[in-house]
Amino acid sequence: MAKQKLIAGNWKMNGSLAANEALLQALRAGLPQQLSGCAVAVAVPAPYLAQVQSLAAGSPIQLAAQDVSQHDAGAYTGEASASMLREFGVRYVLVGHSERRQYHGESDVTVAAKAQKALAAGVTPVVCVGETLAEREAGLTMEVVRRQLAAVIHANGHCISEIVVAYEPVWAIGTGRTASPEQAQEVHAVLRLQLAAATQQADRIPLLYGGSMNATNAAQLLAQPDIDGGLVGGASLKAADFLQIIAAASV
């Protein structure tokens, strides 16, 4: 039996009450009540969690958050804890997205702590790893992604089989450039081996590709043996494109 794929849309800092409603209505209209071979989630800005929880109720669309605090509670203005996210029915949360690492200075240790808090609250962390263009050109791709994932493995031990990993080459995010299916598969295979050294259940951990996955290239990327889904940016804001990617993953 083939492993279920996961297609997660990352809305980033986009959306409005009206736009969200229109998008969710279009997605619901285009999705069957029961999805076959594919799970679907949307990672929405924090102010819209309650709205999207309501709009997605009774559909196969699961809710994801874009970030989580590494703390449980307290004087951390602007932060949201994993237990708070859980109260809104959040199933997944992105941790270590390259934009968080780049613009907010999140370290590998911080990302690992966030994954730990999510797991403790029953929320599945989608751990993002990936190299910059300079790192790829310097031949450091494997070293960078292994280092980023190693921190999460070290902090989470036997719980590591409960995570999702998303490989997102930073140079391919929002640029229209995409890693070739072969380039993406090469990195995914390395990550799978690293996970296999940490847990006997490495095969059950979904490995997603993120980095300008779209309706045109999704099928080719998803055909690779170690690519189990996608973390989709811009295309997840267009219902027709997102539905096409979901269809490619449901084959």
CATH label of the domain that carries residue 227: 3.20.20.70
Question: Domain range for residue 192?
Answer: 5-249
Cα distances (angstroms) measured from residue 221 to each of 3, 45, 137, 183: 16, 27, 22, 10
Number of domains in the chain: 1
Residue of 106, 131, 168, 188 with catalytic role: 168
Tell me the pLDDT band of 120, cut-offs 50, 70 and 90: very high
Catalytic residue among 21, 97, 131, 154: 97
User: Has residue 1 got a pLDDT over 60?
Assistant: no
pLDDT of residue 29: 97
pLDDT band at 33; cut points 50, 70, 90:
confident
| pLDDT band at residue 2 under the 50/70/90 scheme | low
pTM: 0.96
Q: Give me the mean pLDDT over the 123-152 stretch.
A: 97
Would you call 97 a catalytic residue per the annotation? yes
Active site residue 168: yes
